[in-house]
Structure 1
């Protein structure tokens, strides 16, 4: 989105324009909270299905439990790969509303389940639906936010997912899993209703010939001003989207292309543009960061958190410890949102990877000295002592493992865990954004599936201390690699970022904290770049 040419639009979080963008993104984030709840739900299910509770009609062995923790992750890419094609013709807001329906259906499957296939059906539905959600939510943020708001609101979107996970963990400490599912079913209905209150993105409206609606959308996002106040911005955005030879002096579409042909041309151009250097290079970068996000331990430790806390013999109940983990992850997201505008993405990412590496390195030594090698709770592991003989073990020592996990969880969520979603919204051009964000999301969840599905096998092969050391090593090597290949994009225009990846210029690693004049110049550059 371009900036206003009047003095109404200022680089302030308290300006009317900023508040309008925050409101729009916050409403959109309600569906992300629900998605986070669906991600966190297997953490509540796994202990119930592994304990062979006689009150439940079904239970699973270790292989079945590994599918509970991973099947939704492999289904998410199926939706993500087509989400861009769905988002383009339907619009960003309408797509988000439609996917609220299958989310509701999945929670109903959980609540009324009487056979194990009901559980797997719900996991598959929520996974595919979560994938369909990726392109519209990421594209919506990129297309309604100004550059000085983009990083913060993109990270806030990921924070919404983490908050959904945290809420799920907290609900699991008070309610049984069926009533948790019933509570969660309310959120898709709330999201569907609230989305009527925010506008479609001006870029999508203009590109599909809805000119009057585009004016109203810009006026809404600029602080609920009148349409007359955004005329100049609208005209420039219109000219940046439609080549001059396709418009006449009155700013209307000429007879060269009709509305239907323009839509087809846009889809074809998006597909063909993915293989270009300025799209392929950032795509590879985001995919590598997705690998770091999962194989640094964040996903499997979160999924199997209750079992991990139980086998480590932490001094509080596993459900309560998992709820605490969710709160810590949420605090890490808050730090990211507050600090990304100040220190930039590189510093946060490096601090994140160092913290993860140290936390899991210490946890690996703790489990090694405690001779805790297996994850699945058994008679043997429940009678093991922490470091010394049980009679000599004190409370401070028993708090060590949860402290190490908390350090790693906080570090991951203040940086590398949020980075793929943040970068997906700003590294790609308007022509490739819908498709590229879908591909990025598919990569994120395919890697997440592999991470979760192989976790129990890796623990069996390398032992629990060994897998924690692997997490530490992955984070350390990631720090070294990203130091050389991750540019600082905070405060930079989309044109500057694209020029960097296409090789036309090179970004420096300073964080731009721009004056009003600089912002106006940056926005003028972005409008020429179809943003």
Structure 2
């Protein structure tokens, strides 16, 4: 029995709980492609127009911001596990609220709850998996978040072809409840336990996840770093007991912190990584699937077949990405897949423009289908999972909660912008114009990545942190104080 219960097996288990929670993004977004077409029917019990439909699709973006704001405090003060449990509970309530909805306002409230959960999970997921898993397995484990999104998307799209949106929502609620069980029985993050000074528990959980002997150096460095930070914070608290002094100290320290490159540089990089994740076109492919088919393929009877084959291809591409990530450097994989993504967006834009203006000497549905599949493959192989992977690797431990929360605000902003503006762009600059804009944004982000993104494959989180810090002495490290006193959180 115990022969197969290895550290890798345990890491698979805890990663599954986190990845399923982040995969709620796939459930929530793809549910829009099921919900809106059914609500547009004349016999719908909840009639909608284009405006209300766009708000139903995009309103989770508002709550995403709130989720980004509150999750650093929760996962810093109460732990990563508690934050993960709260996130899953909220999304379960959101699905139950959708099932009970009888009008548009009720649907909007339910979608807000889902967005709140998504905001928490997108901030927490990469951090938690990065802290749970071994450096040599961290990339593939982090990429399971993208795979989870693809699997969830296939489930919802398939169910939506044959079932009502209410029944589909019931299935989604069951999936979320299963995830809640997995998360409940997962351990706390060893990094958070170390940050709290609970070193015996930290060692116990670390050995349970990683084995008894294999990665002792990482554990030792984690505890030593935490001890230095806690000692300096204790000394500061003793020296400055009044509220005014502590407030002044916190202001000075925050002003100093935001100037440190190990704080702002990872945030700057991840902001652009999140732009790649959304402007690569994933929201077009998930939330406006049939609209994309209409502009690229025309009015065809093969839409059902395209939905299924596209979602299956997403899963295959995501699975391939996990194995490729074990062998290929992060930077190389990012550049190759995003360049293909840019070419697919530009190629699809040119094709749809020529199709719309009758410039094609010969046209076949197969051309459009190939373009859509190339676009999807490039997104789910690199543009979507790699930003998640990188965001789980480059934040320093001391600032991980706050930096992750700040970066996730831009994740939410890009999510909202790409979802809310789709129909507006289709009306103003046309479908091909929207694709050209997406390609331009990706090109800009790739230039930023080329200039600033370090290689992170097979490196410990502590090594990556030291690269951002540069040459810093132990005394400099000890003098740094925790941001916990600013907002009640710890990194």
Q: Fold match, TM over 0.5?
A: yes
Q: Measured at CA, do residues 34 and 468 of structure 1 come closer, stay the same or move farther in structure 2, by a change above 3 Å? A: closer
Aligned-pair CA distance for 1:59: 2.4
- The equivalent residue for 1:331 is 316
2:148 to 139, 153, 160: 160
Q: Measured at CA, do residues 270 and 331 of structure 1 come closer, stay the same or move farther in structure 2, by a change above 3 Å? A: farther
* SS of aligned partner of 2:315: helix
Q: Measured at CA, do residues 320 and 122 of structure 1 come closer, stay the same or move farther in structure 2, by a change above 3 Å? A: farther
- The equivalent residue for 2:266 is 282
**Does 2:24 correspond to 1:24?**
no
Q: Is the 8 A contact 1:292 1:478 kept in 2?
A: yes
- The equivalent residue for 1:33 is 23
Q: Is the 8 A contact 2:134 2:210 kept in 1?
A: no
Q: Measured at CA, do residues 337 and 481 of structure 1 come closer, stay the same or move farther in structure 2, by a change above 3 Å? A: same
- The equivalent residue for 2:479 is none
Q: Figure out how many residues of one structure are paired with residues of the other and give that number.
A: 461
CA distance in 2, matches of 1:229, 1:493: 13
* SS of aligned partner of 2:429: helix
1:433 to 395, 400, 410: 400
CA distance in 1, matches of 2:319, 2:77: 34
Counterparts of 1:189-268 in structure 2, within 5 Å, are: 189-223=177-211, 237-243=222-228, 246=231
* SS of aligned partner of 2:382: coil
Aligned-pair CA distance for 1:450: 0.8
CA distance in 2, matches of 1:452, 1:234: 42
- The equivalent residue for 1:84 is 72
More helix by share: 2
CA distance in 1, matches of 2:350, 2:58: 28
Aligned-pair CA distance for 1:468: 2.2
| TM-score, normalised with respect to structure 2 | 0.84
Stretch of structure 1 that moved more, 200-209 or 431-440: 200-209
Q: Is the 8 A contact 2:197 2:227 kept in 1?
A: no
Counterparts of 1:264-413 in structure 2, within 5 Å, are: 273-311=257-295, 312-313=297-298, 315-371=300-356, 397-413=364-380
Q: Is the 8 A contact 1:52 1:58 kept in 2?
A: no
Structure 2 segments unaligned to the other structure (5+ residues) = 473-489
Q: Is the 8 A contact 1:271 1:432 kept in 2?
A: no
* SS of aligned partner of 2:150: helix
Aligned-pair CA distance for 1:74: 2.8
Q: Measured at CA, do residues 162 and 359 of structure 1 come closer, stay the same or move farther in structure 2, by a change above 3 Å? A: same
Q: Which has the higher contact order (CA 8 A, sep 6+)?
A: 2
CA distance in 2, matches of 1:430, 1:90: 16
Aligned-pair CA distance for 1:103: 1.1
- The equivalent residue for 1:52 is 41
- The equivalent residue for 2:457 is 490
Q: Measured at CA, do residues 455 and 137 of structure 1 come closer, stay the same or move farther in structure 2, by a change above 3 Å? A: same
Counterparts of 1:144-183 in structure 2, within 5 Å, are: 144-183=132-171
Q: Measured at CA, do residues 229 and 412 of structure 1 come closer, stay the same or move farther in structure 2, by a change above 3 Å? A: closer
Counterparts of 1:462-501 in structure 2, within 5 Å, are: 462-501=429-468
- The equivalent residue for 2:475 is none
Q: For residues 150-206 of structure 1, give each alpha carbon's deviation from its aligned partner in whole angstroms, at most 9, with x where no partner exists.
A: 222111223223322222222212311110001111122212222233211122223
Counterparts of 1:109-128 in structure 2, within 5 Å, are: 109-128=97-116
Q: Is the 8 A contact 1:103 1:188 kept in 2?
A: yes
| TM-score, normalised with respect to structure 1 | 0.78
RMSD: 3.4
Aligned-pair CA distance for 1:37: 0.9
Structure 1 segments unaligned to the other structure (5+ residues) = 1-13, 248-252, 373-384, 506-529
CA distance in 2, matches of 1:401, 1:275: 48
Aligned-pair CA distance for 1:236: 5.9
Aligned-pair CA distance for 1:332: 2.5
Stretch of structure 1 that moved more, 210-219 or 407-416: 210-219
Q: Measured at CA, do residues 153 and 304 of structure 1 come closer, stay the same or move farther in structure 2, by a change above 3 Å? A: same
* SS of aligned partner of 1:343: coil
CA distance in 1, matches of 2:120, 2:230: 35
- The equivalent residue for 1:514 is none
CA distance in 1, matches of 2:340, 2:229: 52
CA distance in 2, matches of 1:193, 1:271: 42
Q: Is the 8 A contact 2:330 2:457 kept in 1?
A: yes
Aligned-pair CA distance for 1:451: 1.4
